[in-house]
Chains A and B, each alone.
Chain A
Amino acid sequence: MSNPLTPTPGDQPVLVVGGISDSHTWNLVYLQLLVEEHGHRVVNLGPCVPEDLLIGEALVHDPALIVISSVNGHGYHDGMRTVTRLREHPGLGDVPVVIGGKLGIAGPCGDEEEAALRAAGYDEVFEESADGIAAFRRMLDALPQRALV
């Protein structure tokens, strides 16, 4: 585990968000702890986050990263909608956004869906697996550089 760092007040937070129709929360509790341990302040919006709320909170908090997590199988469809709305919004075209979890009702989504999610505006797509978590942690470690761009 990485050493927890003390976040500086005023740092851009990481928004942790459940998919619009996804009521699961253990994934969000886990992600909050994990992101905090990498030295980032977390604003956890909880489950079932509607797009308007996400957009509003993103404009208020100016996050370094938005993490969308979903396990109910609607992750792909909900995720496409959400990122399209987000990217269309003035001021949110460049905010880093990633998505992960169980994204399809028939198990992991395929390369085609992953490519579609990236094309729609996600910077990264993580499947729920040990490899997915490792890749997510590497991204968190790299985050300050990303945020300064």
Chain B
Amino acid sequence: MTGAGFGAFVRRAHDAGRLVVQPRMGMSSPERMRAGLLATRDADATTVGTLTLDSYTRVGDLESAQLAVLEGVDLNGYPLVSHETATTRRVLDGIHGPRFPVQVRHGSAAPQHIFRALTAVGLDASEGGPVSYCLPYGRVPLRESVAHWTESCEHFSTLRRTGAEPHLETFGGCVLGQLCPPGLLVAVSVLEALFFRRHGIRSISVSYAQQTNRRQDSEAVAALRSLCTRFLSDTEWHVVVYAYMGLFPETEHGARRLLAQAAELAVESGSERLIVKTVAESRRIPSVAENVSALEYAAAVAERTARDPLEGTGTETYAEAYALVDAVLNLDDDLGTALLKAFSEGRLDVPYCLHPDNAGLSRSYIAEDGRLCWSDVGNMPLSGVVDARPAHTVTSSELLASLSYVRRSFDDHNTRP
């Protein structure tokens, strides 16, 4: 392990007993972006910085991003590719470094332009994945996404020649944000980490997004850690927990309680990093001050929480994730090919995902106790592993009720499991 870089920073913080907290933050104005990074760095917490890119850059519509820069139109993120290299270097000057690494967050299934731009300004940490940045959200065929991500990983890994240790985070633990049962989230996160590793990346984080049941989330992170211990033994890795990615509580107390639970989940499960959400989340893109407040609150909760990880391999979530990972690894020696086969045969099948390369046979529901379960596993190799409860076809109001389950529970002062 080298001392520099994103992964090493997080490792040192963890060894010192601190949870690293991180915002999702991106503004189109270089001045405001710099101010946001400074405020993140100076927050009363152990933080890393974030450059979240705008949606035009994500889909490769660089003409629109460039036009917005020229006309001064505010975007929903920082247009890294459209700003001059010198501009971004000024944004980062004196901020980005071994004591405050900055990660580029984007969401692109064709990210070569993004990797070229971030390495050009001296950055060495990003995130995504061939599956998680393709299937749920975009239009790029999975086959092309796998090729784009192969090329991007291989380009990114050449940074090591300069003495850097490029770091990639899987987005696989956040697939569709909500209503994807944890076994599949864990499996996709592990598979994307293995994909990164096989294409030359040696410093990796694996994501997991908080879902609907606290105990089930703890089991999922324990399963994720066990699978990484098993499959990534030659790799520097850590776990990043995301505060809930679906409809966020609308009340301040609800939003704070949900964020507190995410921080507790992160620390108790032995995770190293947390992506926060703010009280403004349900309404709009949060301000810098709201982000700082969320970072400091999460850090304070983390400070008073003790590590207490569950045993990793004895749960249904582990059995499910292992069965999926094992099935995919056995499909082909080339992991990209294996992933393509897995989705075309429905061995991996994301519920409610509209992408044409997803089989779309699987369905999930929230059980009485709040656990996220399968009502249909489609062709996934999970018969005998999970107890799928056949359900009637969901109506729009039932779907909305499921999507609002966490918001409702936390806004309502209910005691949650």
Residues of A with Cβ closer than 8 Å to B? 1, 20-26, 28-30, 33-34, 37, 44, 46-50, 72-74, 77, 102, 104-107
The number of inter-chain residue pairs (CB within 8 angstroms) is 84
User: Would A72 and B137 count as touching, CB distance under 8 A?
Assistant: no
B71 to chain A, nearest CB (A): 10
User: Would B395 and A26 count as touching, CB distance under 8 A?
Assistant: no
> B330 near A: Cβ within 8 Å?
no
A-B contact list, 7 entries, CB within 8 Å? A20-B59, A22-B55, A23-B55, A30-B399, A72-B55, A72-B76, A74-B75
Interface footprint category on B: 35 or more
| Residues on the A chain within 8 Å of B285, using CB | 73, 105-106
* Residue of A20, A29, A102, A107 most packed against chain B (CB within 10 A): A29
| Residues on the B chain within 8 Å of A25, using CB | 136-137, 176, 352-354
Having A33-B394, A37-B395, A105-B75, one finds 5 other A-B pairs with CB under 8 Å, namely: A1-B397, A25-B136, A30-B400, A50-B139, A74-B75
User: Would B354 and A1 count as touching, CB distance under 8 A?
Assistant: no
B178 closest partner in A (C-beta) = A26
User: Would A105 and B76 count as touching, CB distance under 8 A?
Assistant: yes
A31 to chain B, nearest CB (A): 8
> B107 near A: Cβ within 8 Å?
yes
Docked complex Cα distance between A141 and B239 (Å): 48
The proximity string for B residues 359-401 relative to A, scoring 1 for CB distances below 8 Å and 0 otherwise, is 0000000000000000000000000000000000011110110
User: Would A47 and B352 count as touching, CB distance under 8 A?
Assistant: no
User: Would A23 and B107 count as touching, CB distance under 8 A?
Assistant: yes
B64 closest partner in A (C-beta) = A21
Docked complex Cα distance between A106 and B178 (Å): 24
Partner of B73, one of A23, A34, A44, A77: A77
Interface residues of B in 51-74 (CB under 8 A from A): 54-56, 58-59, 61, 64, 68, 73-74
Docked complex Cα distance between A21 and B395 (Å): 28
Given A23-B107, A33-B396, A33-B399: A28 in contact with B354 (beta carbons within 8 A): yes
| Residues on the A chain within 8 Å of B138, using CB | 23, 47-48
Docked complex Cα distance between A107 and B285 (Å): 8
User: Would B74 and A46 count as touching, CB distance under 8 A?
Assistant: no
| Residues on the A chain within 8 Å of B136, using CB | 23, 25
User: Would A107 and B354 count as touching, CB distance under 8 A?
Assistant: no
| Residues on the B chain within 8 Å of A47, using CB | 137-139, 354
User: Would B56 and A21 count as touching, CB distance under 8 A?
Assistant: yes
> B331 near A: Cβ within 8 Å?
no
User: Would B354 and A26 count as touching, CB distance under 8 A?
Assistant: no
A54 to chain B, nearest CB (A): 12
A134 to chain B, nearest CB (A): 13
A140 to chain B, nearest CB (A): 11
User: Would A21 and B137 count as touching, CB distance under 8 A?
Assistant: no
User: Would B284 and A106 count as touching, CB distance under 8 A?
Assistant: yes
User: Would A30 and B396 count as touching, CB distance under 8 A?
Assistant: yes
Docked complex Cα distance between A29 and B246 (Å): 14
Partner of A74, one of B55, B137, B399: B55
A38 closest partner in B (C-beta) = B396
| Residues on the A chain within 8 Å of B75, using CB | 74, 105
| Residues on the A chain within 8 Å of B400, using CB | 30
Given A25-B137, A48-B59: A73 in contact with B399 (beta carbons within 8 A): no
A47 to chain B, nearest CB (A): 6
User: Would A21 and B353 count as touching, CB distance under 8 A?
Assistant: no
Docked complex Cα distance between A50 and B283 (Å): 26
